[in-house]
Amino acid sequence: MRVSFNWLKQYVRFEFAPQDLAHRLTMLGLEVTGVQAVGDDFVFEIDLTPNRPDAMSHLGISREIGALTGQRVKRPEIIPVGMSGETAPLITIHIEDEEDCPRYAARLIKGVTIGPSPQWMQDRLLAVGMRPINNAVDATNYVMLETGQPLHPFDYNRIAGSKIVVRRAHPGEVFVTLDGQARNLDSETLLICDNQKPIAIAGVMGGLDSEVSAETKDVLIESAFFNPKNIHRTSKNLALSTEASQRFERGTDPNGVIYALNRAAELMEELAGGEVVQGTIDKYPKRIEPIRVNLRAARVNQLLGSYLSEGEIGEILQNLEFKIEKSNNLVVEIPTFRPDILREVDLIEEVARIYGYDRIESERTSQIVLFHKPDHRERLSWLVREVLTGLGLFEVVTNSLTDEEARGMVSDFSPAVTIKNPQSRLMSHLRTSLVPGLLRVIARNQHRQQEDIRIFELGRVFHPSENSSPLPQEPTHLSGALTGLSSPRSWVGKSGIISFFHLKGLLEEFFFKILLDNYHFFSYDISELDDRALGIKTDSRLLGYFGHVQRRVLDRFDIEGDVLLFNLYFDEILGLIKWDRVYRPVPQYPFVPRDLSLVVAEKVSAEDLTGLIKEKGGAYLRSVQIVDLYRGEQIPRNKKGLTFSLKFQSQDGTLDDQVVNQIIEDILTDCRTSFNAQLRE
Amino acid sequence: MEKKIQNFKDSFNKEIVDFSSWNTLEGIRIRYLGRKGRIADLFKQLSALPPEKRRAPGKSLNELKDYIQSRISQESNRFAVKKEKKLPLDTSLSGIRQHTGKIHPLTKIEDEIKDIFKRMGFAVATGPEVETEYYNFDALNFPKDHPARDMQDTYYISDGVLLRTHTSPVQIRVMESQSPPVRVIIPGRVYRNEAISARSYCLFHQVEGLYVDKGVTFGNLKGTLEAFAQALFGEGVRLRFRPSYFPFTEPSAEVDISCILCQGRGCRVCKRTGWLEILGAGMVDPAVFLAVGYDPEAISGFAFGLGVDRIAMLKLGIDDIRLFFGNDLRFLEQF
Ligand SMILES: [Zn+2]
């Protein structure tokens, strides 16, 4: 909203320079976002919060300045107008919907001469951003900017039957507004009609037909109070926001209707000539009375941490035109132009606002809360980020809104949660997997000449609820994607493209660091990965999967080269981690090393062999490591050579060679029978 | 003869001790073991003796030859090791590095913010990003059919279900699940149905705080946020509380900090005002307490909310919010 500095001076005395006033208004909660010099005037752009309809006028802003400086605003006196004739026989008003139109008043001015407004009026309107139309319309707009009460002038002679009816629209009714647009109305839209047809959408915009024009001789001015909710609904439905609707939807003053009406009649007579007809038609079946609110000074100080006396509190409120009905344990009458004040706490805010937030002292101590449950989710989130960045991955943060195509490309999961009113098709679904986002980041970076790209994201995905809950499930996933060299290029020697086993090793390191053991890998089939893929699980739970992304998927994302991917279920992992560890004695005695080179058929898995060795190795076998894989001339085709490095150790003493030899013999025997393994010489 | 052999051995032992270079060692070798060297010479002398007198000195001579050979090879090995150590090392070659990653700047700033509040005794609470209208608006005292609901452009999933526009619904969920005192911060993603630009994205990260107890005052709110801002932006930062409106707090405040770029003198970033708006805050509205079954006469509380993305932009000097979500490695590696 725009406010003129000079205009304000008409209603309240102040010595503030424009910039100073701007600062003071801001500190009152009327945020001034700009001050602009216009001629000899200054125009303030004020960003009003939606709870302050009372401040949407020059008188309203003046009232705030008055409260700040300890004075009351001077409203313009109205010289009695309307000495001739009698309005009542010339117009009848009928309110069908009293709930949405509690008050409707009108005055008639006969014999006006429509023409441009005088220069001073045009300047004022232009300064605050309103286009001058003609003297009749300008008079009503001026009074709206002055008092905050929107008014509407009709060409009296175009009101069929000299009758105003306030009613709800019929379903499917169409109305052409001032701006020439045909509007489809629903049955909750409130209309101002004449005997035959609608002439305005109440509180929002008038119609083309009954507009004041150069030919208009007699003007009927409407001044009304409409239900804010109804106006808000209509304005939103029609996507039509006007100066009038912005005021009505926030709540105008039902008891300010007549003052504004008389003020406009007077001004119109002054600008456009003619004569105001005596008498006001005022349909106000149920008077809206000011409410009373109790206010305890002790409560004020308790909530604010202030030290205000009842007297100081009362004075602040009186300067805001609140009436103090009882000064001991205050009872406050709330003027009807403040629909936002309903409770004690609302008054406390008014006191704080005028007293000044900056004058309330900061309190830097408070009681302490002694107990919080350990927060493992926070702890693991932090750990995961530390470990993965330590393993050479960058954390990324991607959009949770995605498109159906990207989603479908990688995931054969459940259907997605969709957005009813998306900005665009590209952001119409909630992600069901982090993978498409990661692949996009890889593509984008590749297009910017990056080759080694190693990224992860820890974030939520969304799956429609499987039970009756209206809300979807929001599991947290931990996903990563890697492409490029396994280690950075350097002068030492060549580094290869990152392989399946680099990622497998990286995940093993990861689990090692976050204290997760007792997991195992198993062959896994998922649409986004090719056959070089593994799942990860414990006895009962699937923890995730990893492997090579399918070429066709990479092509869709426009990615070059191989990409390795992992997708882990964070919540499952969180549930498995044993945070409390118990110490295991460190071995005292030396270990006995043995290497074992076996030749087996290609189809025998290293994991199975290792498993058997561990089983047969018994309690003394401390570790098994595969240190060589051989295929070539020295062994038959379709066979491979695997060298296992074993370490044996006892907690009770140095192991005897004979004991170890016997264990090795046992292992060999079993490997021969189970896997047809040969000892490689 | 025997005497000569012993003399050669003594002189050899002297020479082999203090040779200084490869050349001298090679020189010793040639002098003793060469084709015309001293050992060869002695063998020649030996062959001149009658056969019966050759045996004893012959044995000694062979022993000397073996001895000299083994000593020289011993020394030359030692020397070779020394030589290898002295290979010139170009220490200016770059170090051998591993791949290293970094934490996203938004996470870093969020961690910094969370840490400050954790040290003050706030616990961390979270809640769903897809929310019901009840938790996002109704329970937070947003009037129905009022412009206050339009302050936040909302993505809807279905009737009554939406993408949360703030993390405030978690305040309600936390209070529903426990009785006072409550002291939590609530980090999380929130969504606004706005066109994407340098200044706004369809989602951002919020941290809200809630403190409910007996006798909590607006003065406590001011003190807490001052301490927070000084911890995050430095001791010199000043705060400004100005009245504002949020349906779920009363009184409500916008909180500005003195511009960290121009120290309050006025610059482009603070639009020449010297102030930067970074927080919304206020005393919890009694209507919110009633919605969760707390007695507003018995307790009071404050709540506040800030945008992590905005603070990150200010702290890191970033002028386009989209950089956070683009994840360009050349951007991420800077933090
Ligand atoms: Zn600045």
ipTM of the complex: 0.88
Answer whether residue B48 shows pLDDT above 90.
Answer: no
Contacts of B323 in chain A (CB under 8 A): none
CA distance A117 to A137: 9
CB contact under 8 A, A363 and B183: no
Site from A1, A27, A44, A49 to mutate, B interface, most B CB atoms within 10 angstroms = A49
Q: What is the pLDDT of residue B1?
A: 78
Q: Which CATH architecture has domain B105-332?
A: 2-Layer Sandwich (3.30)
Q: How confident is the model at residue B6 (pLDDT cuts 50, 70, 90)?
A: confident
Q: Model confidence at B79, in pLDDT bands (50, 70, 90)?
A: low
> In chain B, which residues have their Cβ closer than 8 Å to the Cβ of A460?
129, 189
Which of the residue ranges A162-166, A548-552, B18-22, B286-290 would you say has the lowest mean pLDDT?
Answer: B18-22
What is the structure's pLDDT at B222?
97
What integer is the mean pLDDT of A528-549? 94
Interchain CB contact of A307 with B (< 8 Å): no
Instruction: List the beta strands (DSSP E) in A284-382.
Output: 291-295, 323-326, 330-334
> So where are chain B's domains?
2-86, 105-332
Contact B279, B208 (CB under 8 A): no
User: Would you call A358 and B131 a contact, using CB atoms and an 8 Å cutoff?
Assistant: no
Chain B CB contacts of A477 below 8 Å: none
pLDDT at B81: 61
Strands A564-569 and A476-483: antiparallel
Closest CA to B110 of B208, B27, B236: B208
A369 close to B183: Cβ distance less than 8 angstroms: yes
- DSSP for A86-149, please give it: -SGGG-EEEES-TTT-SEEEEEEEES----PPPHHHHHHHHHTT-----HHHHHHHHHHHHHS-
DSSP H helical ranges for A326-432: 344-355, 376-390, 404-410
Burial grade of B316 (CB within 10 A; 0-12, 13-18, 19 or more):
middle
Compute the average pLDDT of residues A151-173: 94
A514 pLDDT above the threshold of 60: yes
Exposure string of A373-388, with b = 16+ CB inside 10 Å and e = fewer, is eeeeebebbebbbebb
What pLDDT score does B257 carry? 95
In chain A, what are the domains?
2-69 (3.30.56.10), 92-283 (3.50.40.10), 292-324+343-359 (no CATH), 376-574 (3.30.930.10), 592-679 (3.30.70.380)
| Confidence class for position B80, pLDDT limits 50, 70, 90 | low
The verdict on A583 touching B (C-beta cutoff 8 Å) is no
User: Closest approach of chain B CAs to the CA of A420, in angstroms?
Assistant: 5
| pLDDT at position A411 | 63
Confidence tier at A155 by pLDDT (50, 70, 90): very high
The answer, yes or no, to whether residue B85 has pLDDT greater than 90, is no
- pLDDT at A38 > cutoff 80: yes
B-proximal residues of A, 451-470, CB under 8 Å: 452-456, 460, 462, 470
Secondary structure letter of residue A334 according to DSSP: E
**Mean pLDDT, residues A496-509 taken together:** 96
Rounded average pLDDT over A378-393: 96
For residue A483, what pLDDT is reported? 97
Residue B226 and residue A364 in contact, taking contact as beta carbons nearer than 8 Å = yes
Share the mean pLDDT of chain A.
93
How far is the centre of ligand 1, averaged over its atoms, from the C-alpha of B106 (Å)?
Answer: 22
Judge: B245–A51 Cβ closer than 8 Å, yes or no: yes
- In B, which residues are within 8 Å of A228 by CB distance? 145-146
Say if residue B83's pLDDT is above 60.
no
List the beta bridge partners of residue A167: A191
Q: Is there a contact between A369 and B99 if contact means CB atoms under 8 Å apart? A: no
Does the pLDDT at position A224 exceed 80? yes
Average pLDDT over residues A121-136: 94
For residue A426, give the nearest of A439, A411, A436 by alpha carbon. Answer: A436
Per-residue pLDDT at A414 exceeds 70: no
Closest residue of chain B to A447, computed from CA coordinates = B328
Separation between Cα atoms, residue A7 and residue A5, nearest integer Å: 5
> Read out DSSP for A457-522?
EEEE--B--SSS-SSPB--EEEEEEEESBSS---SS---PBP-HHHHHHHHHHHHHHTT--S-EEE
Quote the tokens at residue B55. Answer: 């045996």
pLDDT digit string (tens) for B95-127? 999 999 999 999 999 999 999 999 999 999 999
SS3 content of chain A, % helix, strand, coil (to 5): 35, 25, 40
**Distance from the alpha carbon of residue B229 to the mean position of ligand 1, in angstroms:** 16
Q: What is the per-residue pLDDT across A227-285, written as a single tens digit (0 to 9) for each?
A: 999 999 999 999 999 999 999 999 999 999 999 999 999 999 999 999 999 989 999 99
